[in-house]
Structure 1
């Protein structure tokens, strides 16, 4: 990894969202969604996701940047018993799986990838909706940031409160005081003044 030296800057955050047909870039963090049964929601918030043992892309946590796809899950469950989480996902190294019987369809992680991505309108026959899909091997790459869908307003409010409490309990950077949703923030020493600083601070000016 390349080392970086700092001597004053002003940071601007890139808030561009990834469109459905854009391939996720290695190491980036993206907004995605995950649908689950309401009875599992509190456990997921407090303990994190448990990877599926198998699926179209093998073991992992299945997510999508298409909220309509996430709303379909779990299948055969009434919408009043579903919740859709809004997530931030650090994709790491991504493998595109775009056809049936792809040689790495279920072995992408063993080949050094952190996430598998099925683009929209792929040639995979089992995805009839044509919506994109992702599978993340390591659940620690996923952070819950909000409840995107929940039929009952009181339940939605309670789940949001739990998410906010969980995020505050360990997700804030001590230097810039921003939520570190995707990665621990990079901390360096300014080469002029020697002060320990975070690259996500809005400003840093050396005092001589």
Structure 2
């Protein structure tokens, strides 16, 4: 008799996370966060980030691997007006900014670096990325307005469908939400008959 199953859950984490104090490695991609006002959120998803003219680490796009850091921006913003993006950041060549390199605090890019990293020695960890194309919005980490959140998530999906990789169009599987070059084969669960994709991380069958 063939073995049948109707649910699974994987525990693999495909994103790269850093421990507190661990420096980002050159050319790696990491999950980070960025806080903005909800009126600016859709434009960022559609057109990309606009680097700030200045700041503690000079010009660039500011983000942090610490959600609490992102939750404090923009300054003087009401909590209900704040949106925090979940980002995938390709850091490139990273410069650690500490007491030994304060002379490069705002001029690191002129010395060939793509990202400046400020460790959490005073305050919370922070990163500044010179090229906004190195940041990709992949999700909404915080938004109290459910209507706004739903709208932004739809924009992220549409943006993902338009992105190109190696000259080929990417689409997003409606079942597992992964971006893919080839259409995923979707089938029905043997027990509950719900539509499932073999690339899903989790499927819970509620049929007893």
Residue 99 of structure 1 deviates from its aligned partner by 3.3
Q: What does residue range 50-89 of structure 1 map to in structure 2 within 5 Å? A: 50-89=50-89
TM-score (norm 2): 0.72
Distance change (3 Å), C-alpha of 1:14 and 1:74: closer
How many residue pairs align between the two structures?
Answer: 163
Residue 100 of structure 1 deviates from its aligned partner by 9.1
What are the Cα deviations for residues 92-134 of structure 1, in whole angstroms up to 9, with x where unaligned? 0000002398010010000000000001124xxxxxxx21000
Which whole-Å CA distance do the structure 2 matches of 1:63 and 1:145 have between them? 14
Q: Which residue of 2 aligns with 1:3?
A: none
Find the residue that maps to 1:50 and give its secondary structure. coil
Query: Are 2:16 and 2:31, in contact at CA under 8 Å, matched by a contact in 1?
Result: no
Q: Which among 135, 144, 152 is matched to residue 151 of structure 1? A: 144
Gaps of 5+ in 2: 1-11, 172-177, 181-208
Distance change (3 Å), C-alpha of 1:111 and 1:172: closer
Q: Which residue of 2 aligns with 1:163?
A: 156
Distance change (3 Å), C-alpha of 1:13 and 1:118: same
Q: What does residue range 60-139 of structure 1 map to in structure 2 within 5 Å? A: 60-99=60-99, 102-122=102-122, 130-139=123-132
Q: Which residue of 1 aligns with 2:36?
A: 36
- Kindly report structure 1 stretches of 4+ aligned residues shifted beyond 3 Å: 12-16, 171-180
Residue 169 of structure 1 deviates from its aligned partner by 1.1
Query: Are 1:114 and 1:136, in contact at CA under 8 Å, matched by a contact in 2?
Result: yes
Q: Which among 129, 133, 140 is matched to residue 133 of structure 2? A: 140
Gaps of 5+ in 1: 1-11, 123-129, 181-208
TM-score (norm 1): 0.72
Residue 14 of structure 1 deviates from its aligned partner by 5.4
Residue 170 of structure 1 deviates from its aligned partner by 1.4
Which whole-Å CA distance do the structure 2 matches of 1:85 and 1:62 have between them? 12
Residue 136 of structure 1 deviates from its aligned partner by 0.1
Structure of greater relative contact order (alpha carbons < 8 Å, 6+ residues apart): 1
Q: Give me the CA root mean square deviation.
A: 2.5
